[in-house]
Amino acid sequence: MKRRDFIVRTVGAVGALSPVFARSQSRPCPQPTLQLDQAPPVANACVDSNGTLGQVCAALTPGASSSFNAGAQSAFSQADLEWQTAFYHDDLHGLVQLMGKPANADTSWKHQYYDTATGQWTVVSNGMWNNPGHIYGNLSIDWTTGDIFQQRSTGGSDHPRQAAWWKYATRSWGFAPPTSNIYSGAMETHANGLAFHPNLYGPGDGALIWNEQANIHFWRKSTNTVQTVGYSYGSYGDKEGIGEYWPAKDIVVIGGSAGGANAVVAPNGGGTPKVTNVGAPPISTAGHSDSGSGGFGSLHVHPLDPNRLIIIERGGSRRVFVSTDGDAWANAGTHPFTRRPYVVCSLRGGLGCLWAIGRDSSGQISTLWKPNV
């Protein structure tokens, strides 16, 4: 049996039990009433399809792109948006989460979100924490709660060995793990990809995955415990790699920077998660500066096909690559995002588009593309 066949079949068997599959990437609309943990039920009126963003996406045919000026943001500068790979659409609550931070400004970490029902951006913070670094590929989301996580430099002075944790339920920032560090030994300054897997220790038993250059750490949310798995130094690249949860396969794809391989992280029946090398992506997958020279890729679940991943090349020739297993990749043409720097979001809830947000010398960038690849 081929390596990737084994991976797909194994995670498929585990994923068949997962409640996340009831809310697939391409589902047309959430249920009218939702309940999170012990919170009271909240109404969800399918705001993603009814709002301006949903209407513009619906009007696009596959292969078409359009400026989306109604969704342009003004709070973040070009410097804020330079060094990151992805922002995230919480279709459960109709929010699009965007982070920002300029270089050499350790207390200027910023956060805002776009409400798909009202079409308005809300600034959560224009400055917080005291840690160097950038967003990189170290921002992630828990699709089951709408919580987001951001790793910052382990050399900083503000909870450096804990990921910052924004809870949707309280609309406030804290840290994860909440009462301890992710690891007590030597650590790299920045993670090599961050991702939240909602079923890593079993259906609904999620964990934050914090990758480094020689270790990968798992914070199990339900028990507030941490596991670490070591591997050969640099196997999955240097710092700043990507992290992406893939609901259709119930796996995380992580790493891939500086010519290194990607790793697939999969559940293991409640035991220590499986980490499998699936080889190097066609271009490095990372959160580098989009205005620099040379190409790198941001990795996303395909907005029109939950069974495929898509890489958007940035800072280079605008190539697009697609994969059905995270291992074998096909060159699928080019994308229309010509202005830069920008960061990309794969819109969920059946919207079917990729959204590029940025800012250059000409002003704000807000472009939608419905891929035909």
Taken as a whole, the chain contains a residue count of: 373
Between CA 58 and CA 352 the distance in angstroms is 8
Summarize the confidence of residues 247-274 as an average pLDDT: 97
Of residues 9 and 310, which shows the higher confidence score? Answer: 310
Q: Which domain holds residue 50?
A: 3-369
Q: Is the pLDDT of residue 153 over 60?
A: yes
Tokens standing for residue 196: 């939240």
Cα radius of gyration rounded to whole Å, the chain: 19
CB-count exposure of residue 288 (10 Å: 0-12, 13-18, 19+): buried
Residue-wise pLDDT tens digits, 81-112: 999 999 999 999 999 999 999 999 999 999 99
Ramachandran angles phi, psi of 187, nearest 5°: -130, 155
Among 9-23, 208-222, 305-319, where is mean pLDDT lowest?
A: 9-23
* CA–CA dist 36, 52 (Å, integer): 26
Question: What span, in angstroms and rounded, lies between the C-alpha atoms of 369 and 351?
Answer: 11
Residue 38 Cα to chain centre, angstroms: 26
Whether 173 has a pLDDT exceeding 90, the answer reads yes
**CA distance linking residue 60 with residue 367, whole number of Å:** 12
- Nearby residues of 70 by Cβ (< 8 Å), 6 or more positions away: 52, 53, 56, 119
CATH of the domain at 299: 2.120.10.30
Q: 197: part of which helix (H) or strand (E)?
A: strand 194-197
Where does residue 348 fall: left (phi above 0), alpha (psi -120 to 50 degrees), or beta otherwise? beta
> Is pLDDT of 48 > 90?
no
Q: What's the pLDDT at 289?
A: 85
Tens-digit pLDDT profile for residues 318-334: 999 999 999 999 999 99
Q: What is the DSSP string of 87-118?
A: -EEETTTTEEEEEE--TT-TT--EEEEEETTT
pLDDT for residue 41 is more than 90: no
Predicted confidence at residue 265, as pLDDT, reads: 98
Nearest to 211 by CA among 198, 196, 200: 196
C-alpha torsion sign, points 203, 278, 243, 192: positive
Count of domains in the chain?
Answer: 1
* 64 pLDDT above the threshold of 80: yes
Instruction: Give the pLDDT mean for 63-77.
Output: 97
Angle at 256 between CA 255 and CA 260, to 5 degrees: 115
231 Cβ contact partners less than 8 Å away, ≥ 6 residues apart: 214, 215, 216, 275
Percentage of residues in the chain having pLDDT higher than 70: 86
Q: What is the pTM of this model?
A: 0.88
**Separation CA 277–CA 269 (nearest Å):** 19
Counting Cβ atoms within 10 Å, is residue 362 exposed (0-12), middle (13-18) or buried (19+)? exposed
Kindly state the average pLDDT of the residues 186-207. 97
Q: How far is it, in rounded angstroms, from Cα 20 to Cα 299?
A: 20
Maximum Cα–Cα distance for the chain, whole Å? 53
Whether residue 42 has pLDDT greater than 50: no
Tokens of 121: 């951006």
- Report the percentage of the chain scoring pLDDT > 90: 83
Q: What tokens does 51 get?
A: 């709002």
Q: pLDDT at position 20, please?
A: 36
